[in-house]
């Protein structure tokens, strides 16, 4: 017998084109994070092999194979054999506590090889436990040392496979209520005195050293598009269908309620005043849609809406964009909270008491209920800068919850703040390349008051790269994704 493949790391599933059937394999991997003793891997190499004894090839078959391989599975695809990275830590802890960790149900919205797995389980009869679920987006982990104690920060960004695509070819919402560039970002902060999620002689998933915060980005849930046939770097925005009942937007927010609970806080960062209406026209329609939908929601479940022209604030010398974002972040964090898998530390409780807070010490797990949904036009530059600051504020609270800092406040010049900013910068660049074809044009550095000419020149270069990618390469990338 001839050995065909060595060092197989996992089975992605099966696919059939015009002739024969193929198995997709992961043959190379690299660990990028360790969560509760479970490794998260980045896909480094894959193989597509025919399972036919004598495979037949035709021109149509070769074209299908080439198109399939246009989605490079070695770029920003991640998996874990033993941890469900398609769900949040809060969800996994809840399911692990109830079911003892014996059962996993993947979130199909974030499983990019979903169809290949279905072909394996339904077509070939292979058990689901033989396959691995891939997420697409970003995953990384950094170590922070605080007075000799190691704290680990993990960022996981999950891109939705539903209504996925590239910038100008996927905008707005589809009929089912799924939006373009839908990304769930989870920020996990933990200590590793005990590596496992389980404490010795304790119940499963009882380690109190884990905290998590989740936020969301996604295109404005209306039917809108931009025509790219011309040479304009900023094509006009067209609202293709004006639905007076905002049915699809309602479906979108209903899914957010189901996934995250309430409140859902919409942070809309697009322009509100323009000489020729582009973004502002879309913003007005979005605002009208939210007003309409809120008529039918009970008082405690209404969608909270905050529209803030981030571009205009950057041009106003009196506005400190990052300081304003910090205020917004504190307010939203107060409303949604964050996840902590344990009781409140007694030291933090006594600090609250001295500050006049008469609430009793929290003895149960703290849960995040609700989500901040951020967007600009592309959900890239302004959105990522805003999520970076929200993440920084959340990190302060997470470190405080774990007893690592005296107050839930981080200044920008601390190691922790610089690490989280760099991680969000890498995350933003990755998502921007996947959706827009270039790195971020505007970063957190762009919105600092001390922005220099080098940052400005880099922004111009990235704008040109993004325009080139959108004009010449997007159609090929979209065909591969769909």
Looking at per-residue pLDDT, the higher value among 303 and 458 belongs to: 303
Q: Residue 76: what are its φ and ψ, rounded to 5°? A: 65, 35
Q: Is the CB of residue 187 less than 8 Å from the CB of residue 213?
A: yes
Instruction: Name the residue among 296, 302, 320, 301 with its Cα closest to residue 310.
Output: 320
Which helix H or strand E contains 152, and what residues bound it? strand 149-159
Angle between helices 453-472 and 474-481 (to 10 degrees): 70
Separation CA 469–CA 78 (nearest Å): 25
Q: How confident is the model at residue 464 (pLDDT cuts 50, 70, 90)?
A: very low
Separation CA 481–CA 431 (nearest Å): 15
Separation CA 9–CA 74 (nearest Å): 13
Separation CA 359–CA 349 (nearest Å): 9
Q: What is the pTM of this model?
A: 0.91
* Residues 281/283/287/290 CA torsion (nearest 10 deg): 120
3-state DSSP of 404-452: CCCCCCCCCCCHHHHHHHHHHHHHHHHHHHHHCCCCCCCCHHHHCCCCC
Instruction: Name the residue among 360, 141, 371, 154 with its Cα closest to residue 266.
Output: 371
Instruction: Name the residue among 219, 216, 200 with its Cα closest to residue 208.
Output: 200
Q: How confident is the model at residue 172 (pLDDT cuts 50, 70, 90)?
A: very high
Structure tokens at 304: 């909270």
**Angle, vertex CA 260, rays to CA 403 and CA 244, nearest 5:** 145
Q: How confident is the model at residue 234 (pLDDT cuts 50, 70, 90)?
A: confident
Predicted local confidence at residue 220, as pLDDT: 98
| Per-residue model confidence as pLDDT tens digits over 57-95 | 788 898 999 899 888 999 999 999 999 999 999 999 998
Q: Does the pLDDT value for residue 468 go beyond 70?
A: no
Separation CA 408–CA 388 (nearest Å): 16
Looking at per-residue pLDDT, the higher value among 92 and 231 belongs to: 92
Predicted local confidence at residue 398, as pLDDT: 98
| Per-residue model confidence as pLDDT tens digits over 422-455 | 999 999 999 999 998 888 888 899 888 765 545 5
Phi-psi region at 168: left, alpha or beta (left = phi > 0; alpha = psi -120 to 50): alpha
Which helix H or strand E contains 300, and what residues bound it? none
Furthest-apart CA pair in the chain: how many Å?
77
Separation CA 85–CA 135 (nearest Å): 7
Q: What is the DSSP letter of 120?
A: I
Which helix H or strand E contains 267, and what residues bound it? strand 264-268
Residue at token pair 């405080």: 400
Structure tokens at 376: 């600009």
| Per-residue model confidence as pLDDT tens digits over 79-138 | 999 999 999 999 999 988 655 444 568 999 999 999 999 999 998 888 888 999 999 999
The SS3 assignment for 214 reads strand
- Count CB neighbours of 396 within 10 A: 24
Q: How confident is the model at residue 158 (pLDDT cuts 50, 70, 90)?
A: very high
> In Å, how far are 223, 451, 458 from 438, measured between CA atoms?
25, 21, 12
Q: Is the CB of residue 224 less than 8 Å from the CB of residue 246?
A: no
Q: Is the CB of residue 216 less than 8 Å from the CB of residue 372?
A: yes
Q: Does the pLDDT value for residue 351 go beyond 50?
A: yes
Structure tokens at 31: 């660990």
Q: Region 242-260: what's the mean pLDDT? A: 96
Which helix H or strand E contains 321, and what residues bound it? helix 321-336
3-state DSSP of 9-66: CEEEEEEECCCCEEEEEEEEEEEEEEECCEEEEEEEEEEEEECCCCCCCCHHHHHHHH
Separation CA 161–CA 106 (nearest Å): 13
Q: Does the pLDDT value for residue 338 go beyond 90?
A: yes
Residue by residue, DSSP assigns 333-358 as HHHH--EESSPPPHHHHHHHHHTT--
The SS3 assignment for 473 reads coil
Predicted local confidence at residue 482, as pLDDT: 60
**What percentage of the chain reaches a pLDDT higher than 70?**
89
Q: Region 253-269: what's the mean pLDDT? A: 97
Q: What is the DSSP letter of 167?
A: G
């Amino acid at each position: 017998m001839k050995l065909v493949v060595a060092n197989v790391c996992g089975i992605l599933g099966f696919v059939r084109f015009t002739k024969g059937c193929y198995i997709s394999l992961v043959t190379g991997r690299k660990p990028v994070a360790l969560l509760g003793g479970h490794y998260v891997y980045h896909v480094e190499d894959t193989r597509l092999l025919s399972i036919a004894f004598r495979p037949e090839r035709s021109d149509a078959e070769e074209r299908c194979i080439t198109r399939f391989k246009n989605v490079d599975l070695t770029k920003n695809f991640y998996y874990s054999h033993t941890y469900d990275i398609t769900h949040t830590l809060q969800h996994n802890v809840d399911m692990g506590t109830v079911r003892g960790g014996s059962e996993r149900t993947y979130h199909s919205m974030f499983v990019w090889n979903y169809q290949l797995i279905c072909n394996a389980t339904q077509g070939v009869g292979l058990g689901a436990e033989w396959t691995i679920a891939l997420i697409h987006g970003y995953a990384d982990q950094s170590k922070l040392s605080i007075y000799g104690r190691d704290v680990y920060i993990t960022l996981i960004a999950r891109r939705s496979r539903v209504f996925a695509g590239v910038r100008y070819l996927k905008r707005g919402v589809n009929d089912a209520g799924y939006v373009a560039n839908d990304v769930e970002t989870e920020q996990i902060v933990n200590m590793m005195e005990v590596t496992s999620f389980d404490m010795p002689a304790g119940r499963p998933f009882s380690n109190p050293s884990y905290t998590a915060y989740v936020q969301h980005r996604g295109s404005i849930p209306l039917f809108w598009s931009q025509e790219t046939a011309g040479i304009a770097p900023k094509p006009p925005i067209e609202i293709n269908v004006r639905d007076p009942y905002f049915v699809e937007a309602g479906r979108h927010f209903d899914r957010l309620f189901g996934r995250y609970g309430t409140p859902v806080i919409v942070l809309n960062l697009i322009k509100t005043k323009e000489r020729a209406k582009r973004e502002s026209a879309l913003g007005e329609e979005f605002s009208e849609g939210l007003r309409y939908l809120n008529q039918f929601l009970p008082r405690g479940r209404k969608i909270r809406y905050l529209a803030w022209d981030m571009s205009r604030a950057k041009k106003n010398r009196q506005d400190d964009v990052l300081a304003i974002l910090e205020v917004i972040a504190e307010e939203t964090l107060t409303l949604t909270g964050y996840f902590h898998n344990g009781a409140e530390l007694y030291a933090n409780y006594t600090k609250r008491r001295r500050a006049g807070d008469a609430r009793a010490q929290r003895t149960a797990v703290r849960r995040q209920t609700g989500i901040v949904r951020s967007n600009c036009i592309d959900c890239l530059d302004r959105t990522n800068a805003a999520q970076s600051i929200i993440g920084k504020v959340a990190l302060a609270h997470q470190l405080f919850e774990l007893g690592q800092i005296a107050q839930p406040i981080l200044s920008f010049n601390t190691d922790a703040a610089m690490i989280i900013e760099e991680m969000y910068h890498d995350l933003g660049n990755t998502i921007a390349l996947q959706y827009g074809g270039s790195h971020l044009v505007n970063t957190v550095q762009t919105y600092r008051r001390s922005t220099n000419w080098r940052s400005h020149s880099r922004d111009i270069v990235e704008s040109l790269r993004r325009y080139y990618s959108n004009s010449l390469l997007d159609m090929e990338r979209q065909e591969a994704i769909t």
